[in-house]
Structure 1
Amino acid sequence: MNVLARSPTLALLMLALVLAEWLWRRRRPQFGYDGKGAWASVAVGLGHVFSTALSAGVLGGLFLGAWRLAPVHWSMQDWRVWVIGFFAVELAYYWMHRCSHTVRWIWANHAVHHTPEQMTLLSAIRLGWTNLLSMAWVFYLPLVLAGFDPRMVFVLLAFNLQYQFFLHTEVVRTLGPLEWIFNTPAHHRVHHASNPYYLDCNYGGVLIVYDRLFGTLRKERADQPLRYGLAHPLGTQNPFGLAFGEWGRLLADLRRASGPREVWRMIAGRP
């Protein structure tokens, strides 16, 4: 399970696929390729790596503290724990992702990922810089308190996120029967659409089964062409504007709040 040992190979594969997708889109005028948006995604992605490194110590300490409080510790040497852990992490990711779209405080960080107006592989790395502040990590603490080793949770979550890199493309249309079980590019394109019909759906990471179970699965409709990006675009490709744009909108609204109740409604309410 040595993710770091495999990361150079994975990075080269991702780079090769990005270049192949660029060639594919350039040869199809109906798609084209947003070069400025691509470089903005790279810049935001680098900022995400830096911010994640800065917050790693704090989050590591919090999860280690939760691990010490857990009444039972499940062995990482047991393959059954990994299988159960996979489905547990997937469930935690589903609810974290769902709340990232329905709780404005968490959305302020997650919205960064939805700013690209083209669905390309590089849009997968356009991730927020304020994960620690947004508190989205809280959804994984119950797993550690339930006895799953924090290292296992981080490895499974890393796999979950790396898998999703391959979902951000229009090259792959459908994957047949796999669409019933796995999150696929077809499902994830719908998730990234900003049309009113497509908002708030398809939250799965690796799997789509929890969306089927909780009624949040939605499929693309022929009469509703997908439109990517935010419902209310930020109007910038500046990495700092993309990373903090939604926080700025939230703070502007909070300044106009009439009291604590309205402040809470803005923070915890829907975006």
Structure 2
Amino acid sequence: MENVPEFVQSFNPVYYAIPLFVILVCIEMVHAKMTGSARFEPRDSFSSLAMGFGNSISAVLFGGILTAWAMFVYQFRIFDIGFPWWVWPVAFVLDDFMYYWFHRLGHTVRWFWADHIVHHSSQHYNLTTALRQSWLSPLTLKFLWLGSVMILLGFHPLVIGIVSGFNLIYQFWFHTEAIKKMPAWFEAVMNTPSHHRVHHATNPVYLDRNFAGVFIIWDKMFGTFQPELDDEPCRYGIIHNIGTHNPFKIAIHEWVSLFKDMRHAKSPRDAMMYLLAPPGWSPDGSRGTSKQIKARWQARVGGEAASGEEVAADPAPQVAAE
């Protein structure tokens, strides 16, 4: 085992960022009160803060398991990369690349969506929304492969933990409506409030777009980028909003729905599809996945345009994903 630098052993960037998170939330609240540039609802914000607190407790409870798995995988690394200076920017970019793909899976595989839906459950979009995180992420077992590729390549688990922490910190600031657009050069490369508002929106044109964590270039490379449109205001939340501020219900509501669907499935195949198919899948297609919602919306818009009727800028879908 190579010598691990002392600062790597003890450094957790997220802990140092927590006071900054609190300060920025307060600043945004004051700014919103003065300008109306962002929307807050006390019960919603409390729920988001409660989810963030629970996520921190979950990280402590499951941290040992995640660390043990990471160190187990590290024994089988292909290269001994160690801790040279260049490992940090390379690991940061690779970690963000991996984040893009696993975030995308979080929207296209219901097993992972049952966990990730927590972050999308608020109908408001402000800095407290960034703190609305799942309590049960380790139970999805995504840690078995999330990061394992980098560990097998030879990146030390502590390096991955640190760069992932900086990735998480970066993602905090763009959960806001107070910032409209960044400079064009920045919008072209980096994830921004405008790009991420699209990701949280339920408008058909915005569904399942902009999965990036830090670098929006991944979405542009892999065909999932959608700019925010001036004539299409974002509607936040999930297709079927849950109508509760109870943190416990927020944490488990989709898990309950998933297992209920599996229990009532008419065949083992249907049960497996409920688990692994995109959110909104059903045997008869009555609910509608994101792709189906988008296709029906596009067909309706195209039909209206072809008939010469005026097309609404913000048509609401009549079918919905879970």
- TM-score tier by shorter-chain length is over 0.9
> Which structure has greater helix proportion?
1
Q: Name which of 201, 206, 230 aligns with 2:214.
A: 206
Report the aligned-residue RMSD. 1.6
Q: Name which of 166, 172, 180 aligns with 2:173.
A: 166
CA contact (8 A) 2:210 2:225 kept: yes
**Which residues of structure 2 form unaligned runs of 5+?**
1-6, 280-322
The residue type paired with residue 120 of structure 1 is N
1:244 aligns with 2:252: yes
Counting aligned pairs with the same residue, the percent is: 36
Q: Name which of 96, 111, 115 aligns with 1:109.
A: 115
Equivalent position of 2:59 in the other structure: 52
Equivalent position of 2:139 in the other structure: 133
* Higher RCO (CA < 8 A, seq sep 6+): 1
Q: Which moved more, 1:99-108 or 1:129-138?
A: 129-138
1:156 aligns with 2:166: no
State the alpha-carbon separation in 1 of the partners of residues 167 and 19 from structure 2. Answer: 19
Equivalent position of 2:300 in the other structure: none
TM (norm. structure 2) is 0.80
- Higher alpha-carbon Rg: 2
CA contact (8 A) 1:106 1:135 kept: no
- Shift >3 Å, 4+ stretches: 1-9, 28-32
The residue type paired with residue 55 of structure 1 is F
Q: Measure how far apart 1:125 and its partner are.
A: 0.8
State the alpha-carbon separation in 2 of the partners of residues 52 and 250 from structure 1. Answer: 24
Q: Measure how far apart 1:73 and its partner are.
A: 2.0
Q: Measure how far apart 1:212 and its partner are.
A: 0.8
The residue type paired with residue 76 of structure 2 is L
State the alpha-carbon separation in 1 of the partners of residues 15 and 72 from structure 2. Answer: 31
The residue type paired with residue 232 of structure 1 is H
Q: Measure how far apart 1:252 and its partner are.
A: 1.3
Q: Name which of 243, 246, 254 aligns with 2:262.
A: 254
The residue type paired with residue 102 of structure 1 is T
TM (norm. structure 1) is 0.95
Aligned residues: 270
Q: Measure how far apart 1:259 and its partner are.
A: 2.2
CA contact (8 A) 1:95 1:139 kept: no
The residue type paired with residue 248 of structure 2 is F
Equivalent position of 2:105 in the other structure: 99
Q: Secondary structure at the match of 1:205?
A: coil
Q: For residues 1-271 of structure 1, what are the structure 2 equivalents within 5 Å?
A: 4=11, 10-29=17-36, 31-76=38-83, 78-137=84-143, 138-176=145-183, 177-271=185-279
